[in-house]
Amino acid sequence: MSSEIYSYIYNVVMDKGALDIYTQSIYMKKNRPAIKLCILCKEDDLDKFIDLMLLETSTFGVRYNKYNRVVLDRRFEKLETEYGKITVKLGYHNGKLIRVTPEYDECKKIAENRRIPLNFLINNINHLINKKFKINLLT
């Protein structure tokens, strides 16, 4: 399968409601470097994604297994910044705020439009986050 097809697959899979998607490089028998495509989806969506993998890739088979997940409770807020409002994602563990990250897609757009380095922008946003939110990782 041409490697250029992956960006398409990534889009299709996420659009159809997958929880996550990633690839890993593996080495198969007969000297074949290859790509292993991994999709994480809800149990109810299993058949849909098996069909999608069989139809959209060049594979002759799909393996699957059941995993459990623990995820942080998520909340989204708007943060006032000198660059305008930016969405930040808040992660709670046992009711305690332990993580706040700015939405990268929004930061990316600002950085591209204003022609400022993205890591400079994110550094400034993180500075604001540190002032505004009380993150506590101590148990």
> Please, what's the largest Cα pairwise distance for the chain?
56
Amino acid at 112: E
**Least distance CB 37 / a second copy (angstroms):** 9
- What lies within 8 Å, CB to CB, of 72 at 6+ separation is 91, 92, 93, 98, 99
Say whether residue 134 binds a second copy (CB under 8 A).
Answer: no
* Paired tokens of 83: 């660059």
43, 55, 76, 113: residue in contact with a second copy (rule CB under 8 A)? 55
Angstrom distance (rounded) from CA 47 to CA 80: 43
45, 87, 106, 126: residue in contact with a second copy (rule CB under 8 A)? 126
43, 44, 66, 76: residue in contact with a second copy (rule CB under 8 A)? 66
**Least distance CB 76 / a second copy (angstroms):** 12
Angstrom distance (rounded) from CA 64 to CA 69: 15
* Paired tokens of 133: 């939110």
Say whether residue 118 binds a second copy (CB under 8 A).
Answer: yes
**Least distance CB 78 / a second copy (angstroms):** 19
**Least distance CB 80 / a second copy (angstroms):** 18
43, 76, 95, 137: residue in contact with a second copy (rule CB under 8 A)? 137
